[in-house]
Structure 1
Amino acid sequence: MPRNRPVRDTAPGSETVRLPFADRAEAGRVLAARLVPLGLDDPVVLALPRGGVPVGYEVARRSSAPLDILVTRKIGYPRQPELGVGAIAEGGEPVFDHGLMQRLGLVEEDLDATVAAERDELARRVRAYRGDRPLPPVAGRAVVIVDDGLATGGTARAALRAVRAKGPSRLVLAVPVGAAETVRAMEPEADDVVVLAAPWSFRAVGQWYRTFDQLTDADVLSWLERASGRPAS
């Protein structure tokens, strides 16, 4: 059963988080400290690329846990692709925002072409980041899903459901900052939701970081190589 213990900027026994974060690395270090009280045994950290990877690197390093990525893709409204009406994660099925779809007059079949295109792009990114290497086994293991922030939460929800279906012993969502309503909506999706700050006034994830560079596939590979101890190629 989900434990649903959200940890925010008022977490007992912890200092108030000061926003904005300097960068994703600083946010990851603070987030890692907040995960310690959970007492996770032999966890695996799965970061959502691209922005979640430098955060996940710090979490994994301080937890002595392996770091890998879990690729997700937003499913956009065909007439306005930036408007997400769902998302999909590798190894999972599409997760739709049925309330929004109803307001837009959409049914799932209307999105078949969009879903197919996003599956293709998801597969391309998996090959780019991981090659032929599969996801690490998560059945019976504590899994921490990490991103750099939660705006609408669509990709995080898809990631959590895809991993939940694989039977982890404990499923944790950990992000430095998230919109308050979205954080609340995520609580049924994970056993623990760890969020450093959940402001009500929330326009975009980037507003909560002083440095919020756009990352590339090469950046993601570099972080993964650092985490594994392999020399950067």
Structure 2
Amino acid sequence: MRFHDRRQAGEQLALRLMEWAADGDLVNAVVLALPRGGVPVAAEVARALKLPLDVLVARKIPAPGSRETGIGAIVGEDPPLYDRRALEMLGLSEDRLGSQVARERTELHRRQQVYRGGRPAPRVTGRTVIVVDDGLATGVTARAALRHLRRHDPARLVLAVPVCGPATAELLRDEADDLVCLHQPTGFHAVSEWYEDFAQVGDEEVRQTLRELSAAA
């Protein structure tokens, strides 16, 4: 299974979520996208399920010298969450990653300002929260996001993605109350392999989408 683009993936993910949801499960629910790539996917989910959409800004911490290798993630002002296995394999310690964390924290704050402009984050306490991304590789960013949200006592925490590796899915089952993943291919390497069109999503597309589907506070 390959998706044409993130929009089509979101449409298919919405159909699966509609099958998943029992009567009343989506009352007072909110969809939170992990920007930027998760936003077009989450927008289709929010439209189909008639739910508010907002973003939860999380940042991957890259390995020194390799932007594509994620070894941890941050959300808000939470301390970094590291992939311990990746640190050991690369011979890295947290002490050596201070500059990377600081850079990603700065970018996280910038994106929060750009996407929100001072608007507060949506209330999640007591609500069903559906966290959406375009796919999961290591899953460390999604794990950091779920742990951040869990501390705010949602009624139900759902992670929904079009594609992820089987091992990553298994790892994240303990972090969410429900995991909805359309495709778990063996030999998974990168999310981009499962999209015909995986063009970068820009800040303006995120802002425009949020304007069209503004979340209830």
- The residue that corresponds to 1:38 in the other structure is 21
- CA drift of 1:104 comes to 2.5
What is the identity, as a one-letter code, of the residue corresponding to 1:38?
A: A
Match of 2:181 among 192, 195, 209: 195
Structure-2-length-normalised TM-score: 0.92
- The correspondence for 1:129, drawn from 115, 135, 138, is 115
Give 1:118 deviation, angstroms. 1.1
Distance 1:176 1:91 in 2: 28
Unmatched segments (≥5 aa) in structure 1: 1-18
TM-score, normalization by structure 1: 0.86
Q: How does 1:97-176 map to 2 (within 5 A)?
A: 97-176=83-162
Q: Deviations over 1:36-67 (max 9, x none)?
A: 22232221000011111011001111111110
1:24 and 1:222 map into 2 onto residues whose CA distance is 16
Given that 1:93 and 1:162 are in contact with CA atoms closer than 8 Å, whether structure 2 keeps it comes out as: no
Partner of 2:50: 64
More moved, 86-95 vs 41-50: 86-95
Q: 2: CA distance between counterparts of 1:62 and 1:206?
A: 24
Query: 1:169 Cα shift?
Result: 0.7
Matched letter for residue 14 of structure 2? A
The unaligned stretches of length 5 or more in structure 2 are none
CA distance in 1 between counterparts of 2:175 and 2:104 reads 23
Q: Distance in 2 between matches of 1:68 and 1:112?
A: 29
Could you tell me how far apart the structure 2 residues matched to 1:144 and 1:215 are?
20
What is the CA deviation profile of residues 77-120 of structure 1, one whole-angstrom value per residue up to 9, with x for unaligned ones?
22434321101122533110112212333222221222122111
Sort the Cα spacing of 1:218 and 1:68 in 2 relative to 1 into closer, same or farther, 3 A.
Answer: same
**What amino acid does structure 2 have at the position aligned with 1:21?**
F
Over the aligned positions, Cα root-mean-square deviation in angstroms equals 1.5
Partners of 1:29 and 1:59 within 8 A in 2: yes
Is the partner of 1:200 in helix, strand or coil? Answer: coil
Task: Count matched residues.
Answer: 211
- 2:174 match: secondary structure: helix
Give the secondary structure class of the aligned counterpart of 2:169.
helix
Instruction: Say which of 22, 26, 34 aligns to 2:4.
Output: 22
Aligned mates of 2:37, 2:78 — CA distance in 1: 21
